[in-house]
Amino acid sequence: MKRKENNHLAEGEATGHFHKAVGNEVEVFEEAYGDNSLHLNIPNGGTVIHQEHGIVEIPAGTHRTGKVLEYDPAEEEVKEVQD
């Protein structure tokens, strides 16, 4: 796995906004196998911040996150959720 130095979990394509994991000793790693998942090492707890959303508290531990998908019935296809 490769460490993400900026700790960004997701970045907006249009606005430049981002979700970022912050806290004491927080580390974010990109999955090496191409499934777009991220691994968060949060030994002391932390938060996820975004310029337009509220803060989300993350408990201490190791966490995995991935892309969020939604089904669009009008288009009859699955799309990646964009922030």
Residue 31 has what pLDDT?
82
What confidence score (pLDDT) does residue 81 get? Answer: 63
Structural domain range at position 40: 2-80
User: Which residue, 11, 31, 29, is CA-closest to 20?
Assistant: 11
C-alpha 83/C-alpha 18 separation (Å) is 8
What is the average pLDDT score of the chain?
A: 85
Number of domains in the chain: 1
Give first-to-last CA distance, the chain, whole Å. 25
Q: What is the pLDDT of residues 29-69, one digit of tens each?
A: 988 777 778 999 999 999 999 988 889 999 999 998 876 66
Query: Is pLDDT of 83 > 60?
Result: no
